[in-house]
Amino acid sequence: MVFEIDCRLGHQRITLYQMTSRAPYLNSRMQGFGTTIFAQMSALAHRHNAINLGQGFPDVDGPIEIAEAAINAIRDGYNQYPPGQGIAELRTAIASHQAHYYDLNYDFETQVLVTAGATEAIAASLLAICEVGDEVIVFEPFYDSYAAAIALSGAKLVPVQLSKPNWEFDPEYLRRVVTPRTRALILNSPHNPTGKVFSYNELEQIAGLCVEYDLIAITDEVYEHLIFEGSHYPLANFENMQDRCISISSAAKTFSFTGWKIGWITASTKLIEAVKTVKQFLTYANGAPFQVAIAYALNEPARFCERIAPSLAESRNELSLGLEKLHFSAMKSDGTYFVTTDISDIYSGTALEFCMELPERVGVVAIPSSVFYQTPNQGEKLVRWTFCKRIDVITEALARLSKL
254 contributes a contact to ligand PMP by CB under 6 A = no
Consecutive H or E run containing 2? none
Which of ligand GLN, ligand PMP, none has residue 263 at its interface (CB below 5 to 8 Å by kind)?
ligand PMP
| Rounded least distance, CB 338 to ligand PMP, Å | 8
Q: Which does 38 bind (CB under 5 to 8 A by kind): ligand GLN, ligand PMP, none?
A: ligand GLN
Site string for ligand PMP, 114-153 (x = CB under 6 A): ---xxx-----------------------x----------
Among ligand PMP, ligand GLN, none, the one that 55 touches (CB under a kind-dependent 5 to 8 A) is ligand GLN
Q: Is the dihedral of CA 351, 354, 356, 358 positive or negative?
A: negative
Find the DSSP H helices in 134-268: 144-153, 171-176, 200-212, 251-254
Binding-site member from 15, 18, 40, 55 for ligand GLN (CB under 6 A) = 55
Q: Of 98, 153, 188, 256, which one interacts with ligand PMP (CB under 6 A)?
A: 188
Give the CB-nearest residue to ligand PMP. Answer: 117
Rounded to the nearest angstrom, the gap between the alpha carbon of residue 135 and the centroid of all alpha carbons in its chain is 20
Residue number, 110 or 283, with CB nearest to ligand PMP? 283
> Which C-beta is closer to ligand PMP: that of 192 or that of 340?
192
**What are the start-end ranges of the H helices in 59-190?**
64-75, 88-102, 117-129, 144-153, 171-176
Residue 167 binding ligand PMP, by CB under 6 A: no
Q: Please say whether the beta carbons of 289 and 78 come within 8 A.
A: yes
Residue nearer to ligand PMP on the CB measure, 45 or 118? 118
What's the closest the beta carbon of residue 56 comes to ligand GLN, in angstroms? 3
CB 257, CB 251: distance < 8 Å: yes
Is residue 194 a contact point for ligand GLN (CB under 6 A)? no
Q: Which of 8, 307, 333, 75 lies closest to 192 in space, CA to CA?
A: 333
Q: Which residues contact 291 (CB under 8 A, 6 or more apart)?
A: 78, 82, 86, 87, 89, 90, 114, 262
Choose which of 10, 32, 56, 287 interacts with ligand GLN (CB under 6 A).
Answer: 56
Shortest spacing between CB 283 and ligand PMP, in angstroms: 12
Which residue, 125 or 192, has its beta carbon nearer to ligand PMP? Answer: 192
Q: In what order do the strands lie in the sheet with 329-330?
A: 329-330, 338-342, 382-386, 367-368
Cβ–Cβ contacts within 10 Å for residue 348, how many? 9
Footprint of ligand GLN on 32-51 (CB under 6 A): 36, 38
Nearer to ligand GLN by Cβ, of 15 and 192: the residue is 192
* Distance from C-alpha of 198 to C-alpha of 208, rounded to nearest angstrom: 15
Cα–Cα distance list, 398 to 15, 149, 323, 324, 364 (Å): 29, 36, 7, 10, 9
Beta strand pairing call for 382-386 and 367-368: antiparallel
Kindly report the three-state secondary structure assignment for every residue of 308-322.
HHHHHHHHHHHHHHH
Contact flag: residue 320 with ligand GLN (CB under 6 A): no
The one among 245, 252, 323, 365 contacting ligand PMP by CB under 6 A? 252
Nearer to ligand GLN, 118 or 174 (CB): 118
Task: Please say whether the beta carbons of 332 and 153 come within 8 A.
Answer: no
337 within 8 A of 331, measured Cβ to Cβ: no
117/322 with CB nearer ligand PMP: 117
Which residue, 220 or 342, has its beta carbon nearer to ligand PMP? Answer: 220
Q: Which is nearer to ligand PMP, 225 or 261 (CB)?
A: 261
Tell me: does residue 102 bind ligand GLN (CB under 6 A): no
263 lines the binding site for ligand GLN (CB under 6 A): no
Q: In angstroms, give the least distance from the CB of 148 to ligand GLN.
A: 11
What whole-number distance in Å separates Cα of residue 371 and Cα of residue 13? 8
Name which of ligand PMP, ligand GLN, none residue 118 binds, using a CB cut-off of 5 to 8 Å depending on partner kind. Answer: ligand PMP
- Please report whether residue 195 would count as binding ligand GLN according to CB under 6 A: no
Beta strands in 189-254 (DSSP E): 216-220, 245-250
Burial 314-328 (b: 16+ CB within 10 A, else e): ebbbbbbebbeeeeb
Residues 106, 184, 212: CA angle, nearest 5 degrees: 85
- Positions touching ligand GLN (CB under 6 A) are 36, 38, 55-56, 192
- Positions touching ligand PMP (CB under 6 A) are 117-119, 143, 188, 192, 220, 222, 250, 252, 258, 261, 263
